């Protein structure tokens, strides 16, 4: 009886390995086919549009306000970022449907800078704006006057001792030139204030920093107070201390053209003696028939003759 369990185990093993057919590895009665999988890729937001500071602008503030239009496309924007000179400056600028304004975290230095706005969507996508350049200039422009009505001078806004009180230039020129130097592309204004009238002239400093003013018409003779103002592209302004310009009165000479050829003149004989009467002298000169232009020479000759007769009458008789 003790060997019966062993025989039972042997019979079971033979049944499993010999009588039952082996099964192929894998899934019994596999079902062929395929399954479609759909994935949604989030899109990028629209490009923010920069407004100010304008591209290539020159400004005078070291703390400018950066203004841009937001992204208004189908992709929702979570927030914006401000990049200055290639680096992140301000993060988490709130999204909006209207124009957005923001500032840098610290004041900027003078010189050239770049700025850009990045829009970040809620799914992690982003879109960069264009990159614009601007320049900060807080220095007022120089004004140097080196010529006033043909007279060399050196009046500088950096050295006020060059412009003493009541400094006056005098000229006979009616259209005097005032020239000098200032910041390139600066707009200059010259104001001449006289006793009864004022003149305003404008000019632009060239790339070599030079400028000049010249009235287009003759100025009235007067003493003018001269004011020169220079404004650069960023709005910085310099005003030169006033000086005076006196324009003298110069009388004009009118020239008369005589007819050409001149009419023939016949000089009558002058048989005048010491006792010749004045009536006889008048009848000897053809005043009525002469050209009016020639009356004055005859009159001068007549006066000389009368003066000679007067001297003869005063001369005592010879013994």
CB atoms within 10 A of CB 18: 8
Top-confidence residue, 251 or 193: 193
Examine residue 253 and state whether it is found in any structural domain, yes or no. Answer: no
Answer yes or no: do 158 and 128 share one domain. Answer: no
Examine residue 18 and state whether it is found in any structural domain, yes or no. Answer: no
The confidence score (pLDDT) of residue 27 equals 45
| CATH, residue 238 | 2.60.40.10
Examine residue 64 and state whether it is found in any structural domain, yes or no. Answer: yes
Answer yes or no: do 148 and 243 share one domain. Answer: yes
The confidence score (pLDDT) of residue 1 equals 44
pLDDT digit string, tens, across residues 288-315: 454 555 566 777 888 888 888 777 776 6
Answer yes or no: do 240 and 154 share one domain. Answer: yes
- Decide which of 78, 107, 136 is a domain's last residue: 136
Answer yes or no: do 117 and 183 share one domain. Answer: no
Answer yes or no: do 185 and 222 share one domain. Answer: yes
Examine residue 8 and state whether it is found in any structural domain, yes or no. Answer: no
Answer yes or no: do 109 and 177 share one domain. Answer: no
pLDDT band at 3 (very low <50, low <70, confident <90, very high): very low
Answer yes or no: do 121 and 210 share one domain. Answer: no
pLDDT band at 202 (very low <50, low <70, confident <90, very high): very high
Is residue 178 a contact partner of residue 188, using CB atoms and an 8 Å limit?
no
Answer yes or no: do 224 and 304 share one domain. Answer: no
Instruction: Please check the confidence at residue 194 and state whether its pLDDT lies above 70.
Output: yes
Distance CA 73, CA 47 (A): 9
| CATH, residue 102 | 2.60.40.1220
pLDDT digit string, tens, across residues 53-106: 999 999 999 999 999 999 988 899 999 999 999 999 999 999 999 999 999 999
Percent of the chain with pLDDT over 70: 72
- Decide which of 136, 152, 181 is a domain's last residue: 136
- Decide which of 103, 136, 169 is a domain's last residue: 136
pLDDT digit string, tens, across residues 105-137: 999 999 999 999 999 998 889 999 999 999 999
Answer yes or no: do 88 and 183 share one domain. Answer: no
Examine residue 38 and state whether it is found in any structural domain, yes or no. Answer: no
DSSP the chain: -TTHHHHHHHHHHHIIIIISPPPPSS-SS-----------PPPPPPPPEEEESPTTEEES-SSPEEEEEPP-SSSPEEEEEEEETTEEEEEEEEP-SS-EEEE-SSPPPSEEEEEEEEEEETTS-EEE---EEEEE--PPPPEEEEEETTEEEEEETTBGGGS-TT-EEEES-SS--EEEEESTT-EEEEEEE-SS-EEEEEEE--TTSEEEE--SSPPPSEEEEEEEEEE-TTS-EEEEEEEEEEE---------PPPSSPPP--PPP----TT--HHHHHHTS-TTTS-GGGHHHHHHHHHHHHHHHHHHHHSPPP-
Q: List the one residue out of 235, 306, 236 whose CA is nearest residue 277.
A: 306
Examine residue 26 and state whether it is found in any structural domain, yes or no. Answer: no
pLDDT digit string, tens, across residues 68-79: 999 988 899 999
Examine residue 224 and state whether it is found in any structural domain, yes or no. Answer: yes
The confidence score (pLDDT) of residue 259 equals 72
Q: How far is CA 27 from CA 31, 56, 184, in A?
A: 9, 72, 87
CA 257 vs. chain centroid, Å, equals 50
Examine residue 205 and state whether it is found in any structural domain, yes or no. Answer: yes
Using left for φ > 0, alpha for ψ between -120 and 50, and beta otherwise, residue 307 falls in alpha
Answer yes or no: do 147 and 223 share one domain. Answer: yes
Is residue 141 a contact partner of residue 236, using CB atoms and an 8 Å limit?
yes
What's the full length of the chain, in residues? 319
The confidence score (pLDDT) of residue 224 equals 97
Q: Which residues of 138-150 are buried (b: 16+ CB within 10 A; e: fewer)?
A: eebbbbbbeebbe
Answer yes or no: do 200 and 160 share one domain. Answer: yes
Domain that holds residue 120: 49-136
Number of domains forming the structure of the chain: 3
Answer yes or no: do 65 and 97 share one domain. Answer: yes
pLDDT digit string, tens, across residues 217-264: 999 999 999 999 999 999 999 999 999 999 998 776 666 676 777 666
């Amino acid at each position: 009886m003790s060997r019966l369990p062993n025989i039972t185990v042997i019979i079971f093993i033979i049944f499993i390995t010999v009588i039952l057919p082996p099964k192929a590895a894998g899934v019994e009665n596999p079902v062929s086919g395929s399954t479609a999988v759909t994935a949604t890729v989030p899109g990028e937001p629209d490009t923010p549009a920069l407004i100010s500071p304008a591209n290539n602008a020159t400004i005078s503030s070291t703390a400018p306000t950066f203004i841009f239009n937001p992204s208004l496309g189908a992709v929702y924007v979570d927030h914006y970022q401000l990049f200055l000179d290639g680096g992140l400056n301000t993060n988490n600028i709130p999204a909006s449907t209207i124009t957005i304004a923001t500032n840098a975290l610290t004041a900027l230095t003078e010189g050239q800078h770049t700025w850009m706005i990045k829009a970040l969507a809620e799914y992690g996508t982003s879109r960069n704006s264009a990159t614009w350049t601007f320049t900060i200039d807080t220095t007022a422009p120089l004004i140097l006057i080196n010529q006033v009505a043909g007279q060399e001078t050196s009046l500088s806004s950096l050295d006020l001792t060059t412009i003493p009180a009541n400094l006056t230039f005098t000229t006979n020129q009616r259209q005097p030139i005032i020239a000098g130097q200032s910041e390139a592309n600066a707009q200059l204004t010259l104001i001449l204030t006289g006793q009864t009238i004022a003149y305003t002239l404008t000019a632009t400093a060239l790339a070599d920093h030079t400028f000049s003013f010249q009235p287009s018409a003759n100025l009235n003779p007067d003493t003018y107070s001269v004011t020169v103002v220079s404004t650069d592209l960023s709005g910085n302004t310099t005003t030169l201390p006033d000086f005076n310009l006196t324009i003298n009165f110069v009388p004009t000479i009118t020239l008369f053209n005589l007819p050409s050829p001149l009419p023939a003149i016949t000089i009558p004989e002058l048989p005048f003696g010491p006792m010749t009467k004045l009536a006889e002298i008048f009848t000897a000169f053809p005043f009525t028939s002469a050209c009016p232009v020639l009356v004055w020479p005859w009159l001068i000759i007549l006066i000389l003759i009368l003066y000679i007769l007067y001297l003869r009458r005063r001369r005592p008789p010879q013994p």
